[in-house]
Structures are given as C-alpha cells and as structure tokens.
Structure 1
Amino acid sequence: MAGTGANGRQLKGGYRATVKTVQLARLLYTESVRLLDLYKERESFPQTAVSGDHLVSVPRPAPQLPAGERVWLVHTALGQCQGLLDRAIVLEDTELGLPGDKENTEYLSQRKVVKERLGHLLQSTKSLLLDGGATATVGTGQERTVEPDGGLFALKVWIYRIIQDVVYWTNMASETLPMAPVEAVNETRKMARNRRKGKRVGRR
C-alpha cells in the first residue's frame, strides 16, 4: 500500500527496502563522520564546527509533513550532497594536489567509500518513492555552490562544509526513514476514512 503526500509524493510501502535503506544511511553516516575527522586532522581544523549556513538548500523535513514528502526532501538533499561532493573532489584534487603519504592515502580511500555509498543511498531512497518521486527533480545544489575565491584556505573551508552537509543529511535520512512506511499507511487509511465520512455527509 502506498502513502500519498500533500504534493503527491508517494511511498511504495516496502518495509524490507526501507530497512535496507536505513541500514545504508546509518553506515554512510558513520563513514561520513570518519571522513570529516580525517579531513580535520589533515587540514588542522579545530574540533568546533565551521560556522555558516548549510550549502544544501533543501529545508529540514518538518515532522508534520506527510511521510512521502519527507522522504522526497531527504532524497533531494542527498542529490545535492552528491553534486557538491563531486565538485569538491575535483577541486581538491586539482587545486590542493594531495601527496601520496599514508595520511592522505587513508583520507582518499575514505573519500572514495563515502562517494560510492552516497550514490547507492541516493538510488535506494529513490526506490522508496513511487515513480522515483513523480515529477520531482533532484537538485544539484547550484543555489549555494558558488565556489570560494578567497584562496586555498577558503576552498578548504568550503570542502569542510560540504562534508559536514553529507554528515547532516545522512543522519537525517537514518532518522526520517524508519517510520515512513508505517506513517504512510496510516495517512492513507485516514484519507480513506475522511472520504467515506464526506460521502455520508453528502448523502444526508
């Protein structure tokens, strides 16, 4: 049974698929935190977070939104994360030129893992949405991808913020997805009850 959101976003209602997606999101969250830690160590960033707005422009899924809409927002945000991370990797390799020492080898290996699993999570969340989210278009994060022009340090901070966004949205996925199928079914049943109630009122 599918659940319908206010804007027509529908979930397929696959509990098994949702469980696998949640497991992937939690694994990717752990891997992303590790990547952020390695980046901090490599660039000698402080333990405190770099200030600034999220680069991903998708709003946080509000609890009152229908389940399908919240999953769609997470999926869209992950798409923007992917676009940002891909661009960050290109600039990091071309502008910073990482040496091939042990520290950077571990970082590059972790970066590859996060990149690949982010792509898998994006496809997995898409599979939870009926027709991939209908007319939904996954953003590329272009609203806030203006690349820094303040030198290498500004570029390093920008890359740091991108990894932070990956951490944030993979955690959001692991928190949002577990109950989505149950909520979608409940929403569908409530809509059906309201329709039946409306028909009874109309016949009076």
Structure 2
Amino acid sequence: MNEAYFLDSRLRMEAEGYQLGPDGKPGMIPDPNPDPAKRNPKGLFHRNGGLVAMRRVELAEDNRMFRIASSKDLKWGGLPNLLNSPWWMEEDRMRLLLDRARTAGVRLSEMARRQLALPVAEGWTDADIIVSVHIRRGIVIAAHAGPGRTAAAGDDLRIIAPEAPHLFMDQLYVPGLGKPGGDRAKGMANASAWFDTGTAKSFDPAARGFNPA
C-alpha cells in the first residue's frame, strides 16, 4: 500500500536520521575533525537518531504493532493521533524490550530510552504511553528496519553502540505515516487506512507488571 512512500528518497533519509529542512534537503553542521587538512570546509550532513543496517520488511494483518509515545499528544485527536507516526516495533521486539527491562531491574520507559535511543528532552518523547494496533486485513505495508543510531537532545545523549547492534532493538520506520512531505493530514489518512483502529489500545509503561517490584 505504501510502495511509493517506501521508494521516496527523502523519507528514507528521514528514516536514517538526516535532519531535513523545509525544502526537504538535509541540514549541515561544521566538520568537527581537529585536523584542518582533513576537515571538510562545507561541513557534514546533520544526522541525529534514525536507523542503521536497514533492510526492508513487509507487515500484514498478523503483525501487532507497538510504539512508545507521549500521552500529551492525545489532546490533538485522541488515540488515533498516536497511530500517525512512522516509528514502530513488532510484538516480538516489544516482548524483548519488556524482558530486558525486567532482567536489568529498570523501568520499562528507561529501557525503551536506552534501547531505542529516545532522549528525554522536548521534541522527542515523554515515553509515558505504549500504543498497540493491528494492521487492517488485506493491507501489506513496507517498512525500513534496523537498530537505532545514537541520538542527542540538549544534555541527554542516548548511545547505541555500533560495534554491538545485536544487543539493541530493531525499530521500524513506516514511510507514509507522520508528516510525509510535511503533510500531516495525509499521514493521518494513511494511518486510518492501514491500521485497524478498532484494535488500537494504550498502556501505561509505569503500570504494575511492566516494571520491577
């Protein structure tokens, strides 16, 4: 259903963590190399978060999808509004995340920040609500998949070790959700068309049973 979005190079760049401007072009930052002879005078493309080691996966009705979100976004349209994001996990990854939180003895929301590279600072996520939903029957959607990249916001740095991606959590970027081409209304329409909204549920990650006693 979203093949055209999947092939959109701008959305792929967004999935890879490139910071895009209103014109759709990636922003630049100064090259931090201390050696002037090796420093690129034009700077470097600005990347923050996103995915590495990406591959294509196809998702259908037998996939229950999960994402970590901010409950404050409920005020913009209730639970359906939280479905309109490109960032998701499959159920097996959600179970793995929960298992790792219990094993480490840390709260589920904190393990999500560690494993998914989710800074606390505004503009990322409060990580105070879990959303789940099934894909509609007969719908197949493509997604970019892979472990997250290190992300930073303010003084909060969430490091994903590149030498050990198997220790971390696969994430999914579903092109066509969110604000494709800056059009949030289009993303909302796609979320309604691709997800079975009647199966949408939300959970409190601080609830008993999700966290160590």
Range class of TM-score, shorter chain: under 0.3
Taking structure 2 as the reference length, what is the TM-score of the superposition?
0.26
Larger-gyration structure (1/2): 1
Identify which of structures 1 and 2 has the higher relative contact order when contacts are C-alpha pairs closer than 8 Å and 6+ apart: 1
Q: Whose helix fraction is larger, Structure 1's or Structure 2's?
A: 1
